[in-house]
Structure 1
Amino acid sequence: MTRPLLLLTRPAEEMATTMAAASAAGFEAVAAPLLQIEPLEWTVPPGWPDAILFTSARAPGLAARRAPVLLDIPAYAVGQRTAAAAVSAGFRLAGEGLGDGSAILAAMARDGRREILHLAGADTAPLDIADAVRLVRVPVYAARLVSALPPAAVNALSGELFATLLFSARTARHFRALAEAAGVEPQGQRIVCFSAAVAEAAGGGWGGIGIAAVPTLDAALAAAQALWQGSGHGR
């Protein structure tokens, strides 16, 4: 039986593990990174935080290399992948949540954290901050949008592609714009989204949409499998 073909849109630095996971889930894959990750120059702000917040798995490694003095400060992370990255980088994980940054920030406030350092990307969405909390956000990397889809991706979109995996609202909007610029119409394409918010950002008119039950790669691939089965394949 032919393995369905997925277009994977994560940055190049994360593509090897994403492609390996897709293969293990029964898919072939084409790489089409929509973001280029660029480390930024930054310094630890004045004062000393009660805790560190990570909302992206890209941030802990960059933070540890730039400011190892922060490794002993309790760290909180959004999602299993970000938590694993924080532990791997040497941070002392104090909390993990599967919600968004605002949800775990509220949990940090309940833990008595008042001075919080948020190490994140330059385009991180704003968070809801409790009155008792002072949050200082420091960008440690920038994620630059690519200007065009690679030729292999355009060929796949025009050929035997089953679906495209989209991991953020920002890249979902950009993927649609790049695909349409390349002459690819949404109604002929399926997408699998990391969350309902990502699906909303991608807009309507797609030929099929799958949404991960929770925002993890495994769940996204499970949604892709369900979409494949539901389209009359794999039986």
Structure 2
Amino acid sequence: MRPLIILRPARGAGRTADKAMAMGLAVRLCPLFAAEALAWTPPSAGDFDALLVTSAQTVRFGGAALQAYRALPTYAVGAATAEALQEAGFVDPVAGDGDASAIAARIAADGHRAVLHLSGEAVAPMDAEPLQVTRLPVYRMKPLPCDPPELSGGVLLVHSPAAGARLAEIFPENQRATTDIVAISPAALAACGSGWASAQAADAPNDAAVLALARRLCE
């Protein structure tokens, strides 16, 4: 069996690894980034009518200041982020099953306009019309060293465009022909570049869809 190599940062990587091992896959962790907190100044909750959180890392690194926004209608990109919000005391956050643009459309359809978006320093493009979005980064991703020989010949899980771009940066194109890519979205896939043995994006941005694709390549 070929190894499944998970490139996402800690905590998220552990959740993905648990699911993969339950499927009988041989798992290795090789995170390309580690998250670290940024200093930020929380604006008044009264200036907004909804909160958008696009990563569980935001909940982890936002700190006690997040509690000021618990009364706002809260929206999350993905079930893992919604679960992290619930654990932090947010009641019934709305979990989107698409990308940030999809959850922005849901926020607009629910009648909200002034949105506080707490995020990482780097974010994927988001179509936010007609919302008025104030984005504040509360964490950033610090690149970690990772040697291409550690990844070569495996099935690589790419969970973000940033991870795809980092992978393309450190992995020479002429050494990619024995390594397969499974990405969580078309944007993450595009960032990986070319030259891989195969490169596919999941049909939904979640672990279940990603692991279903990866399993066929590993076995």
CA gap of 1:169–1:188, structure 2 versus 1, over 3 A, is: same
TM-score, normalising length: structure 1: 0.84
Instruction: Report 1:139-218 matches (<5 A).
Output: 139-146=137-144, 148-149=145-146, 154-155=149-150, 157=152, 161-180=153-172, 185-218=175-208
SS at match of 1:209: strand
SS at match of 1:124: coil
Contact 2:168–2:191 (8 Å) recurs in 1: no
Listed one character per residue, the Cα deviations across residues 116-152 of structure 1 (whole Å, up to 9, x for unaligned) are 1101001013422324x32111111111222x305xx
Distance 1:145 1:90 in 2: 31
Contact 2:38–2:140 (8 Å) recurs in 1: yes
Structure 1 residue runs of 5 or longer lacking an equivalent are: 229-233
Distance 2:13 2:90 in 1: 24
Match of 2:19 in 1: 21
Contact 1:188–1:207 (8 Å) recurs in 2: yes
Confirm or deny that 1:70 pairs with 2:69.
yes
CA gap of 1:214–1:60, structure 2 versus 1, over 3 A, is: same
Confirm or deny that 1:30 pairs with 2:28.
yes
- The CA deviation at 1:39 is 0.9
After superposition, the CA RMSD in angstroms is 2.1
Instruction: Report 1:31-180 matches (<5 A).
Output: 31-46=29-44, 47-63=46-62, 65-131=64-130, 133-146=131-144, 148-149=145-146, 154-155=149-150, 157=152, 161-180=153-172
Distance 1:89 1:42 in 2: 19
Contact 1:102–1:128 (8 Å) recurs in 2: yes
Instruction: List structure 1 runs of 4+ shifted beyond 6 angstroms.
Output: none
Report the number of matched residues. 218
CA gap of 1:7–1:44, structure 2 versus 1, over 3 A, is: same
SS at match of 1:213: coil
CA gap of 1:16–1:184, structure 2 versus 1, over 3 A, is: farther
CA gap of 1:50–1:70, structure 2 versus 1, over 3 A, is: same
- Overall identity of the aligned pairs, in %: 33
CA gap of 1:162–1:138, structure 2 versus 1, over 3 A, is: same
Distance 1:139 1:28 in 2: 35
User: AA paired with 1:52?
Assistant: L
Contact 1:61–1:86 (8 Å) recurs in 2: no
Contact 2:54–2:119 (8 Å) recurs in 1: yes
Greater shift after overlay, 217-226 or 57-66? 57-66
CA gap of 1:126–1:201, structure 2 versus 1, over 3 A, is: closer
Greater shift after overlay, 204-213 or 133-142? 204-213
- The CA deviation at 1:184 is 6.7
Distance 2:140 2:176 in 1: 28
Listed one character per residue, the Cα deviations across residues 91-117 of structure 1 (whole Å, up to 9, x for unaligned) are 123422222212211221121112111
Distance 1:128 1:53 in 2: 13
Contact 2:165–2:191 (8 Å) recurs in 1: yes
Higher radius of gyration, 1 or 2: 1
